[in-house]
Amino acid sequence: MASLLIIGGSGFFGKSILDCYRRGLLNCFNITAITVMARNADKLLVDAPDLLHNSIRLLNADIAKCTALPFADIVIHAAASTDERNYLARAEEERVNIQAGTYNFCKLALQFCKDAQIVYVSSGAAYGQQPEGLAQLMEEFAFGPIDQLPSQKRDYAAAKRDGELAIQQLGKEGLRVSIARCFAFLGEYLPRDQHFAIGNFIEDGLNRRPIVVKANHIVYRSYMYSDDLVLWLMAIVKNSSQACPIYNVGSDESISILELARKIGCYLNVDVNAPRVISRVVERYVPSIEKAKMSLGLSLKYDLEESIKLTILKIQSSFK
């Protein structure tokens, strides 16, 4: 029997975890109660009431300002805005919010989470810009300069680096912690009206609009399905220790954004509009996941083809 606290649990990560819990996928971790903590956790009552039942508690609280944490055996700290528009409009403010949320959590964890297992949801953005000639980012890759990242990602990446250092310090203080450097994902609850290309492609296709690719250079991404994401996070948090192990979380199945658009367009029978490639720049954001595979025995249950089909089918089902 174990209780789970999800900090920042009203978005894609939180909904995906609750969905897995509802379908019994967390039974192997003996999760019997979940607390979802977010600035507006009650938003789930409107956004996803089907994910809630009496073993799930909603707690409206800002991790950057609260003075106590509820008891939990397992803690997933996933509090951060993932909407790129926020970083474009007020990048410094978003950076400060992420830092404050992590620093306050670390202070409270020393009092309220001494016996818990904790995973901090970081980002592959913490590595900095992936070099063109590097097919996959490994955990041992030395952090590159942040100023090479697009402007909307720089403050986010810097805040995640700072957060990782704070979590590692918790390990030195004797707490069991881990870090999940998360990349790109796909699933029913991924926003389809923000900066996530794959979400926008699916939304366009579902609404019978041509899929629009904006990049005029070659861009490679990879996508992990939400069920795999949740099970990997749970396996990582259960491996937490004072040594604070760090794992990449994502898929190593690379695909160009143009090919991705065509794949979704073919599945939904809509056209794809793309600009002519005029730049020799090759942009990659793809992890190596060998460490998690070898150390934790993890694997990807869903490939990209299956992930796309499952996501679209579940979204279409929710329309009915």
Instruction: Give residue-wise pLDDT tens across range 58-115.
Output: 999 999 999 999 999 999 999 976 555 554 556 677 788 899 999 999 999 999 999 9
The CATH number assigned to the domain holding 70 equals: 3.40.50.720
The CA-atom distances, in angstroms, between 106 and each of 174, 178, 274 are 12, 13, 45
pTM of the model: 0.95
Predicted pLDDT of residue 161: 94
First to last CA, the chain: 36
Residues of the domain holding 126: 2-319
Q: Are 194 and 256 in contact (CB under 8 A)?
A: no
Q: Which residues contact 260 (CB under 8 A, 6 or more apart)?
A: 197, 198, 201, 221
- Residue 240: what are its φ and ψ, rounded to 5°? -60, 145
Collapsed DSSP state (helix, strand, coil) of residue 219: strand
Instruction: Give residue-wise pLDDT tens across range 209-254.
Output: 999 999 889 999 999 999 999 999 999 999 999 999 999 999 999 9
Please state the domain count of the chain.
Answer: 1
CA-wise closest residue to 8 among 92, 71, 81, 86: 81
Q: Are 222 and 250 in contact (CB under 8 A)?
A: yes
Predicted pLDDT of residue 205: 96
| Residue 259: HSE in the Cβ half-sphere, 13 Å Cα cutoff | 11
Q: Are 201 and 260 in contact (CB under 8 A)?
A: yes
Q: Mean pLDDT of all residues in the chain?
A: 93
